């Protein structure tokens, strides 16, 4: 199976000297295309830092990152245009859908190929096809405010998939959803990963969906440990 | 690529248009202020044009008759008339006063002009109805802005005058409409004393043995006649022959008549550079303040609109939108706001201009200048918002 994303000994340190904060202490991770993995860890463990490094939003301190067989970081960025890298090779799904409120559903999805230089008509056709595949094609002309929460999340997934990126980063995508809907979204992401041959990393705290992952990375104190979902010990509840 | 600014404006068009209308009213006030200044200059030009004079002869060392008081005897007219290069010369008087009309007062400039020979400088022009003054006394021609109608009888000092003709755009440099009387009537209105003052003056004359020598009452009578005479004018308006040079004729009058003479260019300078200079500076200050206020408002609106979209901007940046595209979106919105504001302002200024008590002249060139200024102000005002948008970290879209 082709690799979607590989991280080798990725380190991220904020500051220096006595005040240095070691957010990532040598993270290793490999996710194949078509695979969906979970990334869990308590607050302050380095999940968000890892996600930002994976998303090419912040620069790691050292290590190596490869996306879709292209080395993007090897103790320094290997691509000049990180904006184009994010646009073409990484899809993002957020905790809230964060759709652009002044664009209709089709243009929310078509915006990425348009930014990549595709003609508007072609980009809109791609968007409509994808929306059909995600069962929200009938809401293609609606504005985001007219959609239900589930429909908005599907549109956000379509937006992440539209440029067929080798990797999609999903940041707590089921947080606002109840159990049934959360499982449905994970199921949909699994289907999409297979259908579009993309690696999906889901950062989550959601105990309901953790058992659905075939592989799970647990990040603690800046290091990842691969776990099997059945053997995952639930995080201690704040109330307890 | 779709227009992000256009979509954003369409999405919240009501708010955007209302904001534009608010800004437009401010721009309308700014355009009106410029129009007030242009109106003042135009009133001054109209005053000079309508007098049909090439030279203004006034009391020595004064800036009369419009900017300073000036008084000279009407006898000065005859020697001027006889000078080489002079075609016509006529005395005029100017007096600004309130005249009762119905239940309200009308502020007018009473002009006394010589009516004997048609076409003399100082006579009313642009007659739109009625006729010129043909009788020696108690007839008047009024500018339509006075609100008088033909046949109306108006009281000036002690006498009533019948309106026999109406003119248009005959105004003073201050924008007051003119009321023309015959020179004799206007002199009486301007210089004639009231009865009590005449009685007191006669008593003073009678008590003075030099003016009232015993046994010779004719002297006192002659003095009283001189004292009650009204032979002064404020200026003598002169037209020159086609072949004459105004500067040369003016120089000759200055030399031989020992009076102050102004050419058209000099009088224009007095009116525009001196008489309305303070008003012009006042208006310029208003224009500067209004421009700064407009810029601050646009900057605040665009900045607030941008700050309200920080999350969307972060998402746009995260998914690969260039800073240039986002900056262009903000600039387009600022320019759109300016465009709506300018259109509303121009319409508003045109609609309310006729209701101003003074003439408001909205020149197309000022509108073009205003449009360029609005667009520049909007461009500058959007910098703050663009700066804020550029500083947005795409990482803000990712939780944690």
Beta strands B159-167 and B139-143 are parallel
Question: Encoding tokens for residue B289?
Answer: 């303040």
pLDDT tens figures, B10-53: 988 898 899 999 999 999 999 999 999 899 888 888 889 989 99
Q: Dig out the tokens for A59 from the structure.
A: 């620069």
Strand partners, B110: B95, B179
Name the β-bridge partners of B182.
B113
Q: What is the pLDDT of residues A80-134, one digit of tens each?
A: 889 889 988 999 998 888 899 999 999 999 999 998 889 999 999 999 999 998 8
| A 20-59: CB under 8 A from B | 47-49, 51-52, 55, 57-58
* Residue B200 falls inside a structural domain: no
- Give the residue among A26, A30, A10, A27 at the shortest CA–CA distance from A201: A30
Residue at B206 is within a domain: no
Q: What is the ipTM of this complex?
A: 0.83
pLDDT above 80 for B400: no
Are B398 and A114 an interchain contact pair (Cβ–Cβ within 8 Å)?
A: no
pLDDT of amino acid B335: 93
| Token pair recorded at residue B108 | 């007018």
* Rounded Cα–Cα distance for residues A135 and B253 (Å): 98
Whose CA is closest to A103, among A53, A142, A51?
Answer: A142
Q: A42 is written with which tokens?
A: 């308590």
Does the pLDDT of residue B188 top 90, yes or no?
Answer: no
pLDDT-derived band of residue A1, with 50, 70 and 90 as boundaries? low
* Residue of A90, A94, A97 to mutate, interface with B, max B Cβ within 10 Å: A94
In a domain, B220, yes or no: no
Task: Please answer yes or no on whether A57 and B400 come within 8 Å at the CB atom.
Answer: no
Domains of chain A plus CATH, in order, are 3-231 (3.40.50.300)
Residues B325-343 have pLDDT tens digits of 999 999 999 999 999 999 9
Residue A159 in contact with partner chain B when CB distance is under 8 A: yes
Distance between CA atoms of residues B323 and A84, nearest Å: 12
Q: Of B4, B315, B325, which has the smallest distance from its Cβ to A98's Cβ?
A: B315
With beta carbons under 8 A apart, name residues in chain B contacting A94: 315, 397-399
Which of the 8 DSSP states describes residue A221? T
Cα B192 to chain center, whole Å? 30
Please indicate whether, in this complex, the C-beta atoms of B320 and A87 are within 8 angstroms of each other: yes
B75 and B177 co-located in one domain: yes
Model confidence pLDDT, tens digit, residues A167-204:
999 988 888 777 788 888 899 899 989 998 999 999 99
- Closest by Cα among A229, A193, A233, A191 to A210: A229
Q: Contact B2/A114, CB-based, under 8 Å?
A: yes
What are phi and psi for residue A219, nearest 5 degrees? Answer: -105, 125
Q: The pTM is what?
A: 0.76
End-to-end CA distance of chain A: 42
Whether residue B71 is found in the same domain as residue B154: yes
Report, as an integer, the average pLDDT of B346-370: 92
Q: Which residues of A, range 76-115, sit inside 8 Å of B by Cβ?
A: 83-84, 86-88, 92, 94-95, 98, 100-103, 107, 111-112, 114-115
Does any domain span residue B266?
A: no
Q: Which chain A residues have a beta carbon less than 8 Å from that of B16? A: none
At A239 the pLDDT is 39
Taking contacts as CB-CB distances below 8 angstroms, the residues of chain A near B325 are 115
Contact A109, A155 (CB under 8 A): yes
SS (H, E, C) chain B: CCCHHHHHHHHCHHHHHHHHHHHHHHHHHHHHHHHHHHHHHHHHHHHHHHHCCCEEEECCCCCCCCCCCCCEEHHHHHHHHCCCCEEEEEEEEEEEEEEEECCEEEEEEEEEECCCCCCCCCCCCCEEEECCCCCCCCEEEEEHHHCCCCCCEEEECCEEEEEEEEECCCECCCCCEEEEEEHHHHHHHHHCCCHHHHHHHHHHHHHCCCCCCCCCHHHHHHHHHHHCCCCEECEEEEEECCCCCHHHHHHHHHHHHCCEEEEHHHHHHHHHHHHCHHHHHHHHHHHHHHHHHHHHHHHHHHHHHHHCCHHHHHHHHHCCCCHHHHHHHHHHHHHHHHHHHHHHHHHHHHHHHHHCCCCCCCCHHHHHHHHHHHHHHHHHHHHHHHHHHHHCCHHHHCCC
Would you list which residues of chain B are within 8 Å, Cβ to Cβ, of chain A?
Answer: 1-2, 4, 7-8, 10-12, 311-312, 315-322, 325, 393-395, 397-400
For the record, the structure tokens of A151 come out as 């429909």
Please indicate, yes or no, whether residues B36 and B64 belong to a single structural domain of this protein.
Answer: no
Residue B130's CB: how many other CB atoms inside 10 A? 15
Contacts of A143 in chain B (CB under 8 A): 11
Q: Is residue B292 part of a domain?
A: yes
Residues B36, B125, single domain; the answer is no
Q: What pLDDT shows up at residue B201?
A: 84
**3-class DSSP assignment, residue A178:** coil
E strand or H helix that includes residue A160:
helix A149-161
Helix, coil or strand: residue A49: helix
Give the H/E segment covering residue A31. strand A21-32
Q: Same structural domain for residues B95 and B242?
A: yes
Give the residue from chain B lying closest to A43, CA to CA.
B400
Q: Reduced to 3 states, what is the DSSP secondary structure of residue A223?
A: strand
Partners of B308 on chain A (C-beta within 8 Å) are none
Write out pLDDT tens, residues A142-162: 999 999 888 998 999 999 999
**Count of structural domains, chain B:** 2
Take residue B362 and report the two structure tokens written for it. Answer: 């909205």
Give me the mean pLDDT over the A64-71 stretch. Answer: 92
DSSP A46: S
Which of A103, A60, A70 is CA-nearest to residue B321? A103
CA-nearest residue of chain A to B395? A57
**What span, in angstroms and rounded, lies between the C-alpha atoms of A170 and B204?**
109
Is residue A172 less than 8 Å (CB to CB) from chain B? yes
> Looking at the structure, do residues B83 and B187 belong to the same domain, yes or no?
yes
Domain shared by B142 and B240, yes or no? yes
Q: Smallest Cβ distance to B7: which of A49, A102, A159?
A: A102
Q: Judge whether B334 lies within some domain.
A: yes
Answer yes or no: do B35 and B139 share one domain: no
The answer to whether residue B387 sits within a structural domain is: yes
| Residue B204 covered by a domain | no
Q: Which of B2, B315, B319 to mutate to test the interface with A (most CBs of A within 10 A)?
A: B319
B8 and B75 in a single domain? The answer is no
Instruction: Please tell me whether residues B31 and B116 are part of one structural domain.
Output: no
The answer on B244 and B95 residing in a single domain is yes
Q: Are residues B126 and B28 in the same domain?
A: no
Q: Among all residues of chain B, which has the CA nearest to that of A47?
A: B400
pLDDT in tens, B77-118: 999 999 999 999 999 999 999 998 888 899 999 999 998 888
Range of the domain at B183: 60-192+230-258
CB–CB of B332/B6 below 8 Å? yes
Q: Which of B4, B319, B400 sits opposite A87 (nearest CB)?
A: B319
State the DSSP string of A81-124.
-HHHHHHHHEEEE-SS----TTS-HHHHHHHHHHHTT--HHHHH
**Residue whose structure tokens are 């994976």:** A54
Kindly state the DSSP code that residue A77 receives in the 8-state scheme.
Answer: B
Q: pLDDT per residue over B263-314, tens digit each?
A: 999 999 998 888 888 888 888 898 889 888 888 888 888 889 889 888 889 9
């Amino acid at each position: 199976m082709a690799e979607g994303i590989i991280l080798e000994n990725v380190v991220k340190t904020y500051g220096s000297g006595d005040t240095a904060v070691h957010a990532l202490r040598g993270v290793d991770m490999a996710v194949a295309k078509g695979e969906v993995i979970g990334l869990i860890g308590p607050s302050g463990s380095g999940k968000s830092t890892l996600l930002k490094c994976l998303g090419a939003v912040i620069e790691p301190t050292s290590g190596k990152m490869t996306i879709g067989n292209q080395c993007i970081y090897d103790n320094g960025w290997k691509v000049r245009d990180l904006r184009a890298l994010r646009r073409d090779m990484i899809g993002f799904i957020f905790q809230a859908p964060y759709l652009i409120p002044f664009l209709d559903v089709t243009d929310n999805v078509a915006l990425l190929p348009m930014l990549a230089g595709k003609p508007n008509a072609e980009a809109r056709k791609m968007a409509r096809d994808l929306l059909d595949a995600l069962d929200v094609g009938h809401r293609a002309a609606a504005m985001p405010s007219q959609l239900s929460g589930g429909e908005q999340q599907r549109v956000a997934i379509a937006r992440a998939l539209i440029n067929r990126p080798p990797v999609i980063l999903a940041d707590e995508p089921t947080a606002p959803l109840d159990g049934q809907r959360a499982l449905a979204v994970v199921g949909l992401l699994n289907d999409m990963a297979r259908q579009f041959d993309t690696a999906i990393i889901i950062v989550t705290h959601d105990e309901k969906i953790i058992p659905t992952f075939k592989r799970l990375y647990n990040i603690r104190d800046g290091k990842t440990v691969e776990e099997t979902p059945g053997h995952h010990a639930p995080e201690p509840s704040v109330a307890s | 690529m779709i227009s992000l600014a256009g979509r954003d404006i369409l999405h919240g068009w009501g708010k955007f248009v209302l904001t534009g209308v608010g800004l437009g009213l401010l721009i309308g006030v700014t355009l009106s202020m410029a129009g007030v200044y242009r109106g003042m200059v135009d009133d001054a030009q109209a005053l000079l044009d309508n007098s049909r004079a090439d030279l203004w002869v006034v009391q020595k060392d004064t800036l009369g008759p419009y900017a300073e008081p000036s008084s000279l005897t009407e006898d000065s007219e005859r020697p001027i008339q006889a000078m080489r290069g002079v075609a016509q010369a006529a005395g005029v008087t100017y007096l600004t006063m309130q005249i009762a009309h119905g239940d309200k007062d009308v502020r007018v400039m009473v002009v006394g002009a010589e009516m004997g020979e048609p076409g003399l400088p100082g006579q009313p022009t642009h007659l739109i109805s009625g006729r010129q003054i043909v009788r020696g006394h108690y007839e008047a021609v009024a500018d339509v802005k006075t609100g008088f109608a033909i046949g109306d009888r108006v009281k000036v000092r002690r006498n009533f005058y019948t309106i026999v003709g109406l003119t248009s755009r005959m105004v003073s440099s201050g924008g007051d409409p003119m009321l023309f009387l015959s020179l004799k009537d206007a002199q009486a209105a301007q210089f004639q004393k009231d009865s009590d003052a005449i009685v007191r003056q006669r008593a003073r004359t009678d008590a003075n043995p030099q003016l009232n020598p015993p046994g010779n009452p004719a002297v006192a009578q002659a003095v009283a006649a001189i004292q009650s005479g009204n032979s002064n004018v404020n200026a003598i308006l002169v037209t020159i022959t086609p072949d004459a040079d105004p500067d040369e004729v003016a120089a000759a009058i200055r030399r031989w008549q020992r009076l102050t003479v102004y050419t058209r260019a000099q009088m224009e300078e007095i009116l525009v550079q001196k008489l309305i200079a303070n008003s012009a500076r006042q208006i310029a200050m208003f224009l500067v303040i209004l421009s700064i206020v407009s810029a601050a408002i646009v900057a605040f609106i665009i900045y607030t609109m941008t700050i309200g979209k920080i999350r969307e901007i972060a998402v746009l940046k995260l998914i690969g939108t260039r800073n240039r595209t986002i900056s262009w979106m903000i600039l387009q919105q600022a320019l759109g706001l300016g465009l709506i504001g300018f259109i509303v302002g121009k319409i508003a200024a045109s609609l309310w201009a006729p209701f101003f008590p003074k003439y408001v002249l909205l020149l197309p060139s000022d509108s073009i200048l205003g449009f360029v200024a609005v667009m520049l102000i909007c461009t500058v005002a959007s910098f703050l918002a663009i700066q804020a948008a550029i500083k947005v970290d795409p990482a803000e879209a990712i939780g944690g």
